[in-house]
Amino acid sequence: MTIKQQQLILGIVFLGIPLLWMLIWVVAPIFVVFYMSFTTYDVLSPMRWAGTWNYTDLWYDDLFWRAIGNTLYFTAVSLPAGVFLSLMLAVLVNRQLPFVGLFRTIFYMPVVTPLIAAALAWILFYETSAGMFNYTLDLLGISPVNWLNDQSTAMPAIIIMSVWKSLGYNMVIFLAALQSVPKELGEAAAIDGAGPVRRFWSITLPMLTPAMVYVVITSLIASFQVFAQVRVMTDGGPNNSTVTIVHYIYRTAFQNLQFGYASAMATIMFFLLIVASFVNLRLVGRRNVYD
């Protein structure tokens, strides 16, 4: 067989099997969701065609807009903070010293703790009448704060917990990318008199672009889909200040049994994310590393 023939067969088999599997178990359900968004469906009775009704209704749904706003707030703070801090952590542990592995493990551990349990522990930190934070304030003679029960502090409280939970994951990816930056480049620049900050900025950072693209896109998607910690810690309250898109979708589907309406929200979110990822690919990945 010629190389071309081999490549053709390999390409068809290697790409075909996974894509077929994805077509069945990932793409098909997505199309069902698209379809459901044009129906009213409560699971218990058959779907009914509703045209674009769900979408027009969404337009007038204040809470949906609120959810989008809250999600953007969450993303706008947690994404840059998370990316920046995990990069700093990666730089910190990117060295060969005794015990560095121990530090890496500690920084990674929050990632692997079950989210429900971690959220419960954080609730106890934040609790008004018996929490650790308010106890500390009390020792300093400051009156207590309703961390999770105040509209202005609830979202920051969730953001802090979420950043803590996911720092290690991105740190590992940055760490790997840092390790592959050739040391010679830094040394050459040092000889030329560049300080460590400038070396990092003009040499290391550009080399990190591919990792940055991956981290930013996956963090963007993850923060757009933030749900579990919101559900456990505040369930959207107080006064809807922490309702996020997926939280609202979940509630609409599984509490109000409006699967059609929930699907319409999911569809809109899908397109929002496509646009956001595209913009991000253009901005972060403009040194195009893809081809």
Site for other proteins in 246-275 (CB under 8 A): 246, 249-251, 253-259, 261-263, 266-267, 269-270, 273-274
Q: 55, 72, 81, 125: which one contacts other proteins (CB under 8 A)?
A: 125
Tell me the closest approach of the beta carbon of residue 33 to other proteins, in angstroms: 5
Of 196, 228, 220, 256, the closest CA to residue 43 belongs to: 256
Would you list the DSSP string of 157-200?
Answer: HHHHHHHHHHHHHHHHHHHHHHHTS-HHHHHHHHHTT--HHHHI
Residue 146 binding other proteins, by CB under 8 A: yes
Q: What size, in residues, is the chain? A: 291
Size of the site for other proteins (CB under 8 A): 145
Kindly state whether residue 50 participates in binding other proteins, applying the rule CB under 8 A. no
Specify the stretch interacting with other proteins by CB under 8 A; choose among 75-83, 102-110, 197-205.
102-110
The tokens describing 203, both together, are 């040499």
Name the strand (E) or helix (H) holding 249.
helix 245-254
43 touching other proteins, by CB under 8 A:
yes
Per 3-state DSSP, the chain is made up of helix, strand and coil in percentages (nearest 5) of 75, 0, 25
Q: Does 153 bind other proteins (CB under 8 A)?
A: no
Scanning 67-75, 76-84, 197-205, 221-229 for contacts with other proteins by CB under 8 A, the matching segment is 221-229
Cβ atoms 128, 144 nearer than 8 A: yes
Residue 76 binds other proteins, judged by CB under 8 A = no
Is there binding between residue 185 and other proteins (CB under 8 A)?
no
Q: How many CB atoms within 10 Å of residue 167? A: 22
Angle at 153 (CA atoms; ends 133, 70), nearest 5 degrees: 140
Closest CA to 153 of 169, 176, 137: 137
Would you say 87 or 211 has its CB closer to other proteins? 211
Q: How far is the CB of 80 from other proteins (least distance, A)?
A: 19
**Candidates 61-69, 74-82, 197-205 — which segment interacts with other proteins by CB under 8 A?**
61-69
Binding other proteins (rule: CB under 8 A), the pick from 115, 194, 203, 280 is 115
Q: How far is the CB of 180 from other proteins (least distance, A)?
A: 4
Quickly list DSSP for 122-150: HHHHH-TTT-HHHHHHHHTT-----GGGS
In whole angstroms, what separates CA 197 from the centre of its chain? 28
Per CB under 8 A, the list member of 87, 177, 230, 284 interacting with other proteins is 177
Q: Rounded to whole angstroms, how far apart are CA atoms 24 and 13?
A: 16
Q: Which is nearer to other proteins, 10 or 283 (CB)?
A: 10
C-alpha to C-alpha distance for 187 and 205, rounded to whole angstroms: 15
Using the rule CB under 8 A, give the single segment among 16-24, 71-79, 197-205 that binds other proteins: 16-24
Residue (76 or 274) nearer to other proteins, CB: 274
Q: Determine the interface stretch with other proteins among 70-78, 117-125, 197-205 (rule: CB under 8 A).
A: 117-125
Site membership for other proteins, residue 131 (CB under 8 A): yes
203 binds other proteins (CB under 8 A): no
Residue 79 binds to other proteins (criterion: CB under 8 A): no
